[in-house]
Amino acid sequence: MHYLDHAATTPLRPEAADAMLEASEHFGNPSSVHAFGRRARRALEDARDRVAAAVGASPSEVVFTAGGTEADNLALKGAADKRRGNGDHVVATSIEHHAVLHAVAWLGSRGMRTTLVDVDTTGVVDPGSVAEAVGRSTILVSTMAVNNEIGTVQPVAEVSEAVRAANPRALVHTDAVQALGNLPVDVHAWGVDLAAFAAHKIGGPKGVGALFVRAHTPLEPLLHGGGQERGLRSGTPNVAGIVGFGVACELAAKEVHEKAERVRALRDRLLAGVLAAVPDAVVNGDLEARAPNNLNVSIPGAEGETLLLLLDRAGIACSSGSACASGALDPSHVLLAIGVPRPLALGSLRFSLGATSTEEDVDAVVAALPDVVARARRAA
């Protein structure tokens, strides 16, 4: 079996698993004043330090959530609600993850004006276009750091700067879920007010994430209750999961350059092999401004759905398009947004590499492709 779907999720790192197991034994509620609580609180705050260090934040700027989707929702809805008096306009790029796009659409359904900024065919947003969309009543701008489907790296720092120039009161959010572990992350260098992260994309557990909230950034919570996480995220925290996240963050930050170099070499080997096996395959999105672990290609004359299941039967795990709730595949909104023709958008494959990827994984894909593509083309 060969796993090339690290953008979907990653295997839990043994170091994180060990730390989680140990943390689970200290079952105290971190809000309790007694020794049991103190012990859990220490673990929680230690993890907060690690996550903050990995993303260039202060520990007090890290709010733990139940994942990247919650972090994005807290950022968008929390800021929009808190800033209601300042304006009624939210801006995002058209290639955001659904956690952002659907939250923006929901705000739109509640009377907020929304603008989705288009990107060019390289899949990289132009900071000038974002700034043009920003007006006096803009509350928040959301630009992802790395696209989850085509891996393109967005100029977050330039976007922040351009947005500040257009409207200094507008908040800047970035969905950085796919950036963590793939490129160095520094939220202050990016100049953002809010940034969303998820543990399971970097070898941590599922159901754990964080929102960076720059000091003094006004935000309304989604969840009300005991006032944990400085009132921004009530509910007893998932201490063991957060501990696993902390360990994974620390490792990811430490290894980011070495890993980037290694997976880039594997990705380039995969790209060369794919183009040799399927000469008319088309790479989607810019190859330079791209996270080192991502390859997204369209296979003319084949449907991604068929390719995917044939690869699955050949023991290769990758992905295609965006799976809807039923598991059926719709053409990716990202590929359509960067101008990929519909038939090619339907015939796309996303390979995403990770810390555990090997040359054998890459070579297995290249070996399987000719037969898989031939069969898929016959069925199309």
Partner 1 sequence: MSGRPKAVVAMSGGVDSSVAAALLVEQGFDVTGVMLKLWRGEAANTNSGCCNLGAAEDARRVADALDIPFYVFNFAERFEATVIRDFNDTYASGRTPNPCVRCNQWIKFDALLERADALGAEVLATGHYARVDRRGGRPALLRGADRSKDQSYVLWMLDRRRLERVRFPVGDMTKSETRAIASRVGLGTARKPDSQEICFVRAGDLDGYVALHMPEASEPGPLVDGSGRRVGTHRGVGRYTVGQRKGLGLSLGVPVYVTGIDAAANSVTVGAREQLEVRELVARDTSFVGAPPAAGDRVLVQYRAHGDTTPARVRAIDPASVHVVFDEPAYAIAPGQSAVFYSAARPDEVLGGGFVARTAAPAAVA
Reported in sequence order, the residue ranges of the chain that DSSP labels E, i.e. its strands, are: 2-3, 62-65, 89-93, 113-117, 138-142, 171-175, 194-198, 209-213, 282-283, 294-298, 316-317, 322-323, 329-330, 348-352
> Which residue number, 120 or 330, has a Cβ lying nearer to partner 1?
330
Tell me the CA distances in angstroms from 173 to 44, 78, 91, one per residue in order.
25, 12, 10
Q: How far is the CB of 376 from partner 1 (least distance, A)?
A: 6
> Which residue number, 330 or 359, has a Cβ lying nearer to partner 1?
330
Q: How far is the CB of 378 from partner 1 (least distance, A)?
A: 6
Closest Cα to residue 116, out of 152, 139, 142? 142
> Which residue number, 133 or 329, has a Cβ lying nearer to partner 1?
329
CA distance linking residue 202 with residue 11, whole number of Å: 8
SS3 of 333-345: HHHHHCCCCHHHH
> Which residue number, 258 or 330, has a Cβ lying nearer to partner 1?
330
> In the annotation, is 324 catalytic?
yes
CA distance linking residue 116 with residue 104, whole number of Å: 9
Q: How far is the CB of 53 from partner 1 (least distance, A)?
A: 41
| List of residues contacting partner 1 (CB under 8 A) | 305-306, 309-310, 312-313, 324-330, 375-376, 378-379
Secondary structure (3-state) at 362: helix
Per the CB < 8 A criterion, the answer to whether 95 and 156 are in contact is no
> Which residue number, 272 or 374, has a Cβ lying nearer to partner 1?
374
Single out the catalytic residue among 35, 324, 325, 328.
Answer: 324
Report which DSSP code applies to 59.
Answer: G
CA distance linking residue 77 with residue 33, whole number of Å: 32
Q: How far is the CB of 285 from partner 1 (least distance, A)?
A: 23
CA distance linking residue 95 with residue 226, whole number of Å: 36
Q: How far is the CB of 106 from partner 1 (least distance, A)?
A: 16
Per the CB < 8 A criterion, the answer to whether 100 and 176 are in contact is no
> Which residue number, 280 or 312, has a Cβ lying nearer to partner 1?
312
Q: How far is the CB of 323 from partner 1 (least distance, A)?
A: 8
Q: How many CA atoms lie within 13 A of 169 on its CB side?
A: 14
Catalytic positions: 324
